[in-house]
Chains A and B, each alone.
Chain A
Amino acid sequence: MNAASLVTLMVLPLLGGAVVASLRGNDRLAKQVALGFSLVELVLAAVLWAGYDPAGARLQLTSSVDWIAAFGVHLSFGVDGIALVMIAVVALLGPVVVGAAWREKLPAARTAGGFLGLILVQQGLVVGVFAATDVFLFYVLFEIMLIPMYFLIGGYGGARRQYAAVKFFLYSFLGGLFMLASAIGAYVYAAGRLGRGTFDWATLVAVVRDAPLSTQIWLFLGFFAAFAIKAPLVPVHTWLPDAAAEAPIVVSVILVGVLDKVGMFGFLRYLLPMFPKASQELAPLVLVLAVVGVLYGSLLATGQRDLKRFIAYVSIAHFGFMALGVFAFSTQSQVGAVSYMINHSVATGMLLLVIGMVIARGGSTRISDYGGMARLTPVLGGLFLLAGLSTLSLPGTNSFVSEFLVLLGSYPREPVYTVLAALGMVLAAVYVLWLYQRLFHGPVRGDALVGLASGPGAVEDPARAKVSDLSARELVVLAPLVVLVLGLGIYPKPVLDVVTPSVSATMTEVGLADPVAQGGK
């Protein structure tokens, strides 16, 4: 393996996006080409994973080219374990998303070529964000990746798509600009120390980590604003329910599954190593936001009447767990947080896709429009339950491992926050099982399934009552996620092995020892 393969992993989807977008006249061919590109991407990512040495250097597969010499900006790429697993998730979701979008009903005058082209471009840019090792380059990609998502939501979304797209963009853009201001601050500080400015991540970390606390706090806040909005943490989360509710399901999968992870990734890659003093000083602030996010997200998920907004609030709760793991400062909790990032993508991605399949059958996103679906679609019901159980972290599913590690690792240092966050686990059982019960159990009912079935003399709509179970395509789309949910639940070692050394390195950069002796992983 060499550095070129990492760059290829980023450039290939961009290229694919351009090719697919040019096939606007032929939807079928566009889909096939998009699927081809995403499968090649997946194979490349697998090869990349195989070539990664967990015990090796902090950053591997590095490459660097001058970009703006006057400001010490480089096009540098490289991965650590955390970035690697995130890139793997991006690559994995690629074919899944293309497959799920196969029969997507696009708005009038939109073509599959344009839609899938944007998705591929989005994929390439996100890989770039995870692979960038130059702070300036990271910022550039961080902002650029908003543009395809903006067009995906605004061009292909629901009734309030314009509002949702602009809100999404402005929130992220504002956060990004604060990060830019902080990055400039770090650059200027480093330039004062080194005599020559640079945006190289490793160099900046080495210099800025020793900056005085007051400086660090200001710089921390800028980066934190960007990542907290991206993650998103309460109270800057409000764009996510709107965006997720208006975006097509497959776009929500990318948004929640991949884009939002950039926030958590940023915490680990940029905030903690660059500003260790400020991170410790301000950890209580983040922990409060995290726990509030867990409880608030869980409560609002319980009370949701809209299926897509439900997912958004579930995710907000889960992002709270991840933030707790990151800022509890133990190797265990951070490994938990990182594996949570992956498992959330898998579990929530699957739940979103399953919900998308429900919506595709009923044509409504209101929960009350459904009921008793298990009788009509038993396989869909079963897979919904599996995705739901993974979401509520049932032992044996993938999310359990991560949530358990987060809570276990956080408890020694932050017992109060941990106990409060654990309440979120209880609420998770409530909102998932209750939703499952409402959608799938009991007699067949609801406007979406049987027309105006309620009330005396109600007329059933026979066309709607004939809801069919999952098609072969849908099963193939869900199959890899099912495998991962169960596989990583039973045998998480491959992921943990890759992640742990990088997390340990992050902990070293923060300069904190684990609160209790670690008995292996």
Chain B
Amino acid sequence: MSALSVSAVFGTPVSGASWTVLAQGSVPAPEVDYGAIGAMLVVFAGACLGVLVEAFFPRHVRWSSQVALTLLTLGAAGVTFGWYVGRSAAPVTTLSGTLAIDRPTLFLWGTLIALALGAVLLIADRSVEPGGSFVAQAAIRPGTVQDRAQAATSGMQTEIFPLTLFALGGMMVFCAANDLLTMFVALEVLSLPLYLMCGLARRRRLLSQEAAVKYFLLGAFASAFFLYGLALLYGYAGSVKLSAIAEATAGNDRSDSLLYVGLGLLVVGLLFKGSVGPFHTWTPDVYQGAPTPVTAFMAACTKVAAFGGIVRVLNVAFKASSWEWRGVLWAVAIASMVIGAVLGLTQTDIKRMIAYSSVAHAGFLLVGSIALTEQGRSGTLFYLLAYGFTTLAAFGIVSLVRDGNGEATHLSQWAGLAKRSPLTAAVFTFLLLALAGIPLTSGFVGKFVVFTAAVDDGMAPLVVVAVVASAIAAFFYLRVVVLMYFSEPATDGPTVTVPGVFTTVAITLGVLVTLLLGVYPAVALDWAGPGLAFAP
């Protein structure tokens, strides 16, 4: 292996020896397909503009301008994306092959932009919690006089909006990354804003800050794992490009230990982001402590990005060696499903319960991800779309049920909710049934496509475990339904806040997609369906 050179890292076919090119100081600029990555560029541009708005706009117009800018950015990204998809869907790689804009990428980008739109609406809502869910000044120490004062004011840190856009941009790069180094950078770009966003809750500041610190520390470890794995894989394959690693694994003249240790470390980093058990330990604490709109954003979008990355890495780089690692990921999937379903049973906090539910769902997603077939890919992508919208709407509902101290997240406080707010209870029941995977909801179709792919790829025993885990998990969803419908309300129970326009739109969006994908899944299945190939 020669010295680390530009051509080795980026795999660009540079004519002549690369060091001579470098010596002449004329590195050829990588070709950029601006159309293909337009949506991503729009998001990053919007994020940068948001920072400028934060710096130069007076305080009283910041919120409105940030909301307008963010929604405009997402709209523009959506239009750019739609324009590109309408024009061509041929897979391309761009920026010297570091980004692959193929069908899976496009599907995930569409999903991410739509989910981010819903999450931003939740973040922007100021009617449910007067002044918004976010602290006025993050630097105020919890428990102090200033902290109590800020809880009553109506200001909020509007940096949350550019942070959201940066995170979204990172997720988009992460899904499209065609080499591990780009993937790592994207991982950091998406994670760092999230760490910060977790600590910005207006109420229960200590819990929120604890969540941020936990997420940051564990996330940093996971990133280190990823990076170490990347280094070992570079040593193994001599390149960080996924396709080069795939070529290397197809041969057999290299050190397998580098491959397996590298792959293991890399996958740990990825599974951490996807909150797959047993790498899920941060999930309940962070979901509980983070401001609910941020939790919604994390639960929906981070999951999409993480599994988008996992599917790409496994399918593109490690398909040839699947025989060796698949057994391990079987075990991980089983662990995740069982941990999520069983520990979910014991939860008494609704946000923690949904967190464990997300761990169980991560297990199901992993079942689909390790079926390295076209069906497995499309099933996983469909599942991500379905799960994202359902969980987004579910957290939207959670943010509505409140008492004097903010959100009433303890389960006992939800008793008899149906008597007081039948509509909220009915919508939440529908979402819970979707999470449980009852037919005519998107959750069921998601499970169905994933299970079908798994059986088709010879993983029937795994499906049986998944089926049992689904049934166990159904219990804790049902428990909430029982509480809401069949229990007497507590006299000093929480009230359901009438949601503002933003939250209403976000919840409606989530519920409608959940219903539509359940009743007529063909719309999305066709798009996620045949010919879902990765760019070479």
Contact = CB atoms under 8 A, between A and B. Distances in A.
Contact of B475 (A70, A166, A181): A166
Contact of A181 (B433, B464, B526, B529): B464
B446 interface: no
A225 to B, nearest CB: 10
B471 A170 contact: yes
A188 B522 contact: no
B419 to A, nearest CB: 6
A452 interface: no
A185 B448 CA distance: 11
Interface in A167-183: 169-170, 173-174, 177-178, 180-181
A71 B528 CA distance: 13
Given A147-B433, A184-B452, A70 B522 contact: yes
B439 A154 contact: no
B487 interface: yes
B123 to A, nearest CB: 33
B22 interface: no
A151 B485 contact: yes
Contacts of B6: none
Interface in B432-486: 433, 436, 438-440, 444-445, 448-449, 451-452, 455-456, 460, 463-464, 467-468, 470-471, 474-475, 478-479, 482, 485-486
A173 B456 contact: no
A173 B468 CA distance: 10
B491 to A, nearest CB: 15
Contact of A144 (B438, B448, B479): B438
Contacts of B448: 71, 180, 184
A161 interface: yes
A160 to B, nearest CB: 11
A143 B452 contact: no
B478 A180 contact: no
Contacts of A162: 482, 486-487
B526 A191 contact: no
B525 interface: yes
Contacts of A102: none
Given A68-B522, A162-B486, A177-B471, A184 B451 contact: yes
B521 interface: yes
Contacts of A180: 448, 451, 467
A184 B467 CA distance: 12
A69 interface: yes
A275 B468 CA distance: 23
Given A140-B439, A154-B486, A181 B470 contact: no
A187 interface: yes
A139 interface: yes
A218 B520 CA distance: 30
B452 A70 contact: no
A170 B438 contact: no
A165 interface: yes
Contacts of A165: 482, 486
Contacts of A154: 482, 485-486
B463 A70 contact: no
Interface in B495-536: 520-522, 525-526, 529-530
B487 A185 contact: no
Contacts of A70: 522, 525-526, 529-530
A170 B475 contact: yes
B451 A181 contact: yes
A148 interface: no
The secondary structure that dominates the A interface is helix
Contact of B470 (A141, A155, A177, A218): A177
Nearest to B475: A170
A181 B460 contact: yes
Interface of B is mostly: helix
A166 B526 contact: no
A187 B452 CA distance: 8
A150 B470 CA distance: 18
A472 interface: no
Contact of A170 (B464, B474, B485): B474
B475 A143 contact: no
Given A147-B433, A174-B471, A169 B525 contact: no
Contact of A155 (B463, B475, B486): B486
Nearest to A185: B455
A441 to B, nearest CB: 39
Contacts of B470: 177
A166 B482 contact: yes
Interface string A134-153: 00000111011001001100
Residue of B452, B468, B470 with highest tally of chain A CB at under 10 A = B452
A378 B452 CA distance: 60
Given A71-B452, A162-B482, A166-B478, A143 B529 contact: no
A109 interface: yes
Contacts of B438: 143-144, 147, 173
Given A68-B521, A188-B452, A166 B467 contact: no
Given A144-B438, A177-B467, A184 B455 contact: yes
B456 A191 contact: yes
Contacts of A109: 419
A140 B529 CA distance: 22
A147 B526 CA distance: 29
A139 B529 contact: no
A70 B453 CA distance: 13
A165 B478 CA distance: 10
A358 B360 CA distance: 48
B204 to A, nearest CB: 31
A155 B485 contact: yes
Contact of B486 (A161, A177, A184): A161
Interface in A8-54: none
B485 to A, nearest CB: 6
Contacts of A170: 471, 474-475, 478
Interface string A475-516: 000000000000000000000000000000000000000000
Contacts of B464: 178, 181
Contact of A173 (B452, B455, B474): B474
Nearest to A191: B456
B425 to A, nearest CB: 12
A143 B451 contact: no
Nearest to A151: B485
A68 B530 CA distance: 14
Highest count of chain B CB atoms <10 Å: which of A67, A155, A165, A181 = A181
B479 A166 contact: yes
A178 B460 CA distance: 11
Contacts of B463: 181, 184
Given A144-B439, A165-B486, A169-B478, A185 B471 contact: no
B439 A139 contact: yes
B525 to A, nearest CB: 5
Contacts of B468: 174, 177
B297 to A, nearest CB: 30
Interface string A185-214: 101100100000000000000000000000
Interface string B32-50: 0000000000000000000
A228 to B, nearest CB: 15
Nearest to B458: A188
Contacts of A187: 452
Contacts of B419: 109
A141 B439 CA distance: 8
B433 to A, nearest CB: 7
Contacts of A218: 460
5 contacts: A69-B526, A144-B440, A150-B478, A173-B474, A188-B456
Given A68-B522, A70-B529, A162-B482, 13 more contacts: A69-B522, A71-B449, A150-B478, A162-B486, A165-B482, A174-B471, A177-B471, A178-B464, A180-B448, A180-B451, A181-B455, A184-B448, A188-B452
Interface of B: 419, 433, 436, 438-440, 444-445, 448-449, 451-452, 455-456, 460, 463-464, 467-468, 470-471, 474-475, 478-479, 482, 485-487, 520-522, 525-526, 529-530
